[in-house]
């Protein structure tokens, strides 16, 4: 949809999302957001109160988009299909949207209270998905406290490392084939693990390497 066809609220949100994705949160001003949205600075300030209020609105929008994709999993048959669909969520949410990827990358790496809060909300969603997967597969994760962090590392890791990974890949990181391979590898890791450790609990030197 062309920006001129969006409501003032949506134009303000989209402009802020794009500027924050490109420059981070500190650099753009409410005036620059207003100019990008073709709105008056007074209107932006009146509706959001401050740049922090504007950021909060963008965070809510981003979380809603991720939540919509996760809610779509409710219709998946309880089997390996749930794991497959969960692996496809990053592709559906981030794959075709470099602006959303850029925004999350800036926010999650900026080391602020707002970034910690956003990560905490993503973590809450990951905990809910881990609980659901445990119910589907009839067993708990080996470490219920750490499992949601591991899931987020699998989902967000490629996004955060996108710029340094691209020169080291033979194919587009978010292309169909690469996404299928990554999803399959993630499922292998989550469902069966890469290696079967001996009953003693470790391999020689394994803990030293980690």
- What average pLDDT does this structure show over 125-133? 81
174 burial type by CB count under 10 A (0-12 exposed, 13-18 middle, 19+ buried) = buried
pLDDT-based confidence at residue 178 (cuts at 50, 70, 90): confident
Residue 209 falls inside a structural domain: no
**145/165 Cα distance (integer angstroms):** 29
Looking at residue 54, its pLDDT comes to: 87
Q: Which domain holds residue 158?
A: 3-165+176-192
- What average pLDDT does this structure show over 94-118? 82
- What average pLDDT does this structure show over 136-143? 76
Higher confidence at residue 83 or residue 184?
184
- What average pLDDT does this structure show over 38-57? 84
Residue 203 falls inside a structural domain: no
Residue 19 falls inside a structural domain: yes
**90/97 Cα distance (integer angstroms):** 11
Residue 207 falls inside a structural domain: no
Looking at residue 210, its pLDDT comes to: 44
DSSP element (H, E) containing 147: helix 147-160
Looking at residue 175, its pLDDT comes to: 63
Residue 171 falls inside a structural domain: no
Residue 161 DSSP label: T
Higher confidence at residue 56 or residue 164?
56
**32/18 Cα distance (integer angstroms):** 11
Looking at residue 19, its pLDDT comes to: 92
| Model confidence, pTM | 0.67
**C-alpha R_g of the chain:** 20
Q: Which CATH number fits the domain that encloses residue 50?
A: 1.10.357.10
Most confident of 6-10, 35-39, 195-199: 35-39
Mean of pLDDT over the chain:
75
What domain count does the chain have? 1
CA distances from 75 to 72, 148, 153 (A): 6, 22, 25
Looking at residue 79, its pLDDT comes to: 45
Residue 184 falls inside a structural domain: yes
Per residue in 7-22, pLDDT (tens digit) is 888 888 899 999 998 8
Looking at residue 73, its pLDDT comes to: 54
What residues have CB less than 8 Å from 94, skipping those under 6 apart?
100, 101, 104, 159, 174
Residue 206 falls inside a structural domain: no
Residue 204 falls inside a structural domain: no
Residue 52 has pLDDT above 80, yes or no: yes
Per residue in 63-93, pLDDT (tens digit) is 887 777 666 655 544 444 545 555 566 666 6
């Amino acid at each position: 949809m062309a920006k001129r066809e969006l409501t003032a609220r949506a134009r303000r949100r989209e402009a802020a999302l794009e500027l924050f994705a490109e420059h981070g949160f500190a650099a753009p001003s409410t005036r620059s957001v207003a100019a990008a949205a073709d709105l008056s600075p007074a209107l932006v300030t009146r509706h959001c109160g401050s740049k922090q209020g504007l950021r909060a609105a963008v965070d809510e929008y981003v979380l809603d988009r991720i939540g919509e994709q996760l809610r779509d999993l409710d219709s998946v048959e309880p089997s390996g299909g749930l794991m497959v669909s969960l692996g496809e969520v990053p592709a559906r949410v981030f794959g075709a949207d470099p602006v959303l990827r850029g925004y999350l990358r800036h926010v999650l790496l900026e080391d602020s209270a707002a970034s910690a809060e956003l990560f905490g909300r993503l973590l809450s969603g990951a905990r809910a998905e881990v609980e659901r997967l445990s119910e589907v597969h009839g067993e708990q994760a080996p470490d219920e406290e750490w499992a949601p962090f591991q899931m987020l590392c699998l989902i967000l890791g490629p996004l955060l490392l996108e710029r340094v990974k691209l020169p080291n890949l033979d194919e587009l990181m978010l292309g169909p084939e690469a996404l299928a391979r990554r999803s399959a590898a993630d499922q292998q890791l989550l469902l069966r693990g890469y290696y079967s450790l001996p009953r003693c609990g470790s391999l020689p030197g394994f803990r030293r390497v980690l």
